[in-house]
Amino acid sequence: MSKDVLVIGGGPAGLEAANQLKILGYKAYIVEKSEKLGGHLAKWDRLFPESISASETLDKLLKPINDISVFLNSEIVSVNGTDGSFSVLLSNNITLSVSSIIVATGFSLFHAEKKEEYGYGIYDRVITSVDLENYFKKHSDNRIINPKKIGFVHCVGSRDEKVCNRQCSKVCCVTAIKQACEVKEIFPQSEVYCFYMDLRMYGRYYEDLYLEAQSKYGIRFIRGRVSEVSEDENGKLVVKAEDTLSSKPLKVTLDLLVLMVGMVKNDDNESISNLLNIRVGEDGFFKTANPILRSTEGDSQGIFFAGASTGPKTLPETINEAKATVLSMHNYLSKQV
């Protein structure tokens, strides 16, 4: 059995998987459709809940794979699977012959323009969580000018039939609280509001972060949905919501509104599923062989998954899954001999 393995996707899942493959003695090939490695991790500043640096984490993931073959700006054109091996043609005309494939294609971020009522792309002071994270890294964004009142809107593009995304994106609640604390650190005189439906603080130390947000940073939490955003004469945002806990409609003028955009399926999931003979679920993410016992394996022989390609995940879950995937793959290949 050949020791060549294809990893589709050069984000954290793909990088960790490639690293583990190398340790176990396999030859990994990473195919990445964008121009650099790192996936979405390259966009973040600090990771929850303990504020670990994202760029340091990324560097640690990138270092061991220096000697691994990486094809950037490349996509899969066709796959022919016969007798336990795959012949894969890439868009740069290179053909690889591999014994298994790890699908680490990750997720896409919800396009906030689709929720027109929040005004992203229409009003200057409405940004997304991704824009805010970028601001934390680069320290400049001409939409953020000394804001006195800042709002965070949870569940933008998630848990919403109206934009065809029923799933909860898992990480946005804790990210919102993390960013609320961070923005309060930068603008200590500001008032920060979080508009939430539920607060999903399921992970270790997440509740501590929530407690810190309330007690140390004074973040204000409003349980209710934002219905409309409009602008007043000074260009400030007038936000209307319902405060469900007091059962009253609520209005507040903000200088900055941050939309917590969710994790949605990649647009090319369908075409990849056709190429590799795997299936997608109703939510557009890939389907695994068994959601409890074999959640890193695909239905077809030789196809494995790692990371958010099979649904929203946190970063530690992704890294762990990459390790588990490689182990499953190794077990599978050992039987093939």
Residue 40 Ramachandran class (φ > 0 left, ψ -120 to 50 alpha, else beta): alpha
Residues 5-64 touching another protein, rule: CB under 8 A, are none
Nearer to another protein, 56 or 117 (CB): 117
**Single-letter residue type at 219:** I
Nearest to 197 by CA among 150, 254, 158: 158
| 312: contact with another protein by CB under 8 A | no
138: CB partners within 8 A, 6+ apart:
none
Query: Which single residue is written with the structure tokens 């062989």?
Result: 289
- Sheet strands side by side (includes 4-8): 69-71, 27-31, 4-8, 100-103, 303-305
Q: Which of 146, 214, 244, 277 binds another protein (CB under 8 A)?
A: 244
Q: Per CB under 8 A, does 271 bind another protein?
A: no
* Candidate ranges 30-38, 133-141, 236-244, 317-325; the one touching another protein (CB under 8 A): 236-244
Write out the two tokens for 135.
């601001």
Give the one residue of 33, 43, 220, 240 binding another protein; rule: CB under 8 A: 240
> Judged by CB under 8 A, does residue 282 bind another protein?
no
Considering the rule CB under 8 A, would residue 122 count as an interface residue with another protein? yes
Binders of another protein among 60-89, rule CB under 8 A? none
In the structure encoding, which two tokens stand for residue 269, read together? 């999931």
109 near another protein, judged by CB under 8 A: no
Least distance in Å: CB of 163 to another protein? 5
Q: Are 308 and 317 in contact (CB under 8 A)?
A: no
225 lies in the binding site for another protein (CB under 8 A): yes
The span from the first CA to the last CA of the chain, in angstroms, equals 6
Examine residue 229 and tell whether it contacts another protein (CB under 8 A). Answer: yes
Q: Which stretch binds another protein (CB under 8 A): 118-126, 184-192, 276-284, 293-301?
A: 118-126
Judged by CB under 8 A, does residue 228 bind another protein? Answer: yes
Residues ≥6 apart with Cβ < 8 Å to 102: 5, 6, 7, 8, 14, 17, 304, 305, 306, 325, 326, 329
The contact pattern for another protein, residues 128-167, with x = CB under 8 A and - = no contact, is: ---------------------------x---xxxxxx---
| Structure-token pair, residue 256 | 């900055």
Q: How many residues bind another protein (CB under 8 A)?
A: 29
- What single letter denotes the amino acid at residue 17? A
What residues line the site for another protein (CB under 8 A)?
114, 116-117, 119, 122-123, 155, 159-164, 197, 223-231, 240-242, 244, 247, 249
